[in-house]
Copies of this chain bind each other. A is one copy, B any other.
């Protein structure tokens, strides 16, 4: 798909169909994340990809807004080292935002929708994913084909108008 079409068709979806994602397509999404830029090229992430339904249902319990994980075809769990201070936490969040976005766009390019989720219960997350101490589950990205209407270019997104967001030269 053309990049501009993928950008305009990406949308958050929290209800997924039972259509499985081809292995090669899931690998492409993960590889897009692997290629994401990061501060100092530190690549401060590991991606745990989960497709097992029991694991998905358990992960849906790590935050009140994580329910969509239970019905996803897969979830990509973004695991990072616990930041040393608030500055590091903010830099990490920016980098994880970049990695999440490029994975969501690589997915949209294949007609695959996504939704991301925060994480609250780290003990439960560690129980499911078995990441080492000193790491934490920063975010999850659910992926799957939409249960409802397929992805398609959105001409009028639910966003502030362009002229409100963009300032020329100065505020």
Residues of A within 8 A of B (CB): 1-8, 10, 12, 27-28, 30-37, 41, 43, 45-52, 55, 79, 86, 89-91, 93-102, 104-106, 108-109, 128-132, 135, 139, 157-160, 162, 165-171
Contact = CB atoms under 8 A, between A and B. Distances in A.
Nearest to A33: B165
Copy number of this protein in the oligomer? 2
A55 B171 CA distance: 13
Contacts of A4: 28, 32, 106, 109
With a 10 A CB-CB cut-off, give which of A5, A131, A132, A166 has the most chain B CB atoms: A166
A164 to B, nearest CB: 8
A55 B4 CA distance: 30
Contact of A48 (B47, B50, B100, B171): B171
Given A97-B93, A97-B96, A102-B101, A52 B3 contact: no
B49 A167 contact: yes
Contacts of A90: 89-90, 93
Given A7-B106, A34-B166, A171 B1 contact: no
Contact of A45 (B97, B100, B165): B165
Contact of A98 (B3, B46, B48, B97): B97
B170 A128 contact: yes
